Structure formats: C-alpha cells, structure tokens
Amino acid sequence: MPDNILYTDLSAYYDLMCADIDYQAQSDTAHRLHQIFGNGGIGHLDLGCGTGPHIRHFIDRGYHCSGLDINQPMLDIAQQRCPEARFSQQDMCMFTVTEPVDVITCFLYSIHYSGDITKLKHCISSAHKALSANGVFCFNAVDKNKINNNSFTSHTATQGSNEFIFSSKWHYCGSGEQQALKLHIQKTTANTTQSWQDEHPMVAISFKELQNLLNPYFEVHIFEHDFQKLIPWNKESGNALFVCVKTAK
C-alpha cells in the first residue's frame, strides 16, 4: 500500500483504532507544560491532528485551535467533531500558518511521519516559524536505539455488528534513518473476516540526534513518557515527551 492509504481508507475506524489512547491526559499534560514553560497564550495548532480528539480537549479549555493533516477524510471527521476549529490539508514538514500560535502539539509519535532526517529538519523549522515568542512545541518520540522489534500493542473494539482487532509495532533494522510502523487491522462481521496490513516509513532517530536538531531553535526539556505526572527523562527510557520553547537564539 502507498503511504497513509490505510488511514484514508479506514478513517471512519480511526477512533476505534485509537480507543485505548487517553487523549484527555495527553491534552491536559500539554496544557500544563505550556503554562509552566510557555507564554500563556491560547493559540493552538495540532500537527497530524487525525480526527481531532486532542483539539476537542484544547477547545474545551478555551484555546483557539487549528489542525493539519495530510489526509482529507480525517480532517472531514475532525471538522465535525470540532466545528469551532480551523483545519487544513498540509504536509507537517512544510506547513505554514496565517498567524503565529502559542502552542503546537504533535502526539501519537506523529513527528516520526516526517519520514527522514531532512524532512524532520523542515518540520522543526516550520514549527519554530509558526510559534509566537516563548511558544511551546510539545511532542512524543521514540529512540531508534531502544526499539524492541518483538514488542507490539494490540486491542479489540466493537462497532455495531463489527468486531476489530488492532495491532501495531515498531521495527528498526539497526542502521539508517528509517524505521517502520507496522499495522495490522482485522475486521469480523458475522462469519466474514477482512484483514489489512500496512507498513509506514518513519524517521528513525536517537534522542541525542533529535536534541541536536532542536537545539538551534529551541530550549529543550525532556520528560518521561508519563501523562499522569511530570518526571524528568532518566536518559534510559526509549519513549519520551519533548517540550521545546521558542527562544531568541
């Protein structure tokens, strides 16, 4: 399958695929980090916004929100969920905004959809340009050197008469700047089972390399991947939360 086709074809099932994600906790954490490190403004942009659940929580907190995604079917659902927000179909690596925003979020490891280091650099530069002074860029990432190719997550969900099994895993070959997000979706209706498999090319990067890319643009703070409490990164975990404050550098 071409890149992202699975997400387009199954956009109506995307929320089921992400049913085990605590969007509220992620959004609350980003808000808290913005209050601690940011400028206190209420302009919010979500990169790779999907169907808009993070944006919904930000709107409910009083933010003026916008979102972008490369897949229009996702954006159509997001617009229904968040009619107050503005949405645009853009590549997160080369996006523009009509006016500066105060906080940019990019959760669900979507920063890795940049695909390669060059495009990731463009994404970081675009985020820096889009932020107002002392604005915050908040995202989660995975260190390529900590990936366990045998580890995967899986959950089941039901929609009407349909039963789903969703599975995903990271895979890194051990060298180079690309890793893969491997997805498997199984849908069973009565006695009929359909199955989709897809592999998305993702940028592979170590946290040290990522810090080096961010440092020219931001003051960088790294926390453990815990949306219940803020704990500084222990420098061993392979998943982390990055908080990047736009500086006058």
The alpha helices in the chain, defined as continuous H runs, are 5-9, 14-17, 23-37, 53-60, 72-81, 117-130, 207-214
The predicted-structure confidence for 229-247, as pLDDT tens digits, reads as follows: 999 999 999 999 999 999 8
How many CB atoms are closer than 10 A to CB 29? 23
218-224 and 192-203 strand pairing: unpaired
- Which residues are CB-neighbours of 172 under 8 A, at least 6 positions away? 144, 147, 149, 179, 180, 204
pTM over 0.85: yes
In contact, 78 and 55? CB cutoff 8 Å: yes
**Nearest to 220, CA basis, from 179, 249, 177:** 249
Type of residue at 165: I
Class of 145-203 in CATH: mainly beta
Class of 5-143+204-246 in CATH: alpha beta
The predicted-structure confidence for 102-140, as pLDDT tens digits, reads as follows: 999 999 999 999 999 999 999 999 999 999 999 999 999
**pLDDT band at residue 11 under the 50/70/90 scheme:** confident
**Nearest to 101, CA basis, from 147, 71, 133:** 133
- Tell me what percent of the residues of the chain surpass a pLDDT of 70: 95
Mean pLDDT of 57-74: 96
Mean pLDDT of 168-181: 96
Mean pLDDT of 213-219: 97
pLDDT, position 4: 52
In contact, 242 and 225? CB cutoff 8 Å: no
Mean pLDDT of the chain: 93
**Nearest to 156, CA basis, from 17, 35, 31, 34:** 17
pLDDT, position 249: 55
The H-or-E segment that residue 52 falls in is none
**pLDDT band at residue 10 under the 50/70/90 scheme:** low
Domain ranges of the chain: 5-143+204-246, 145-203
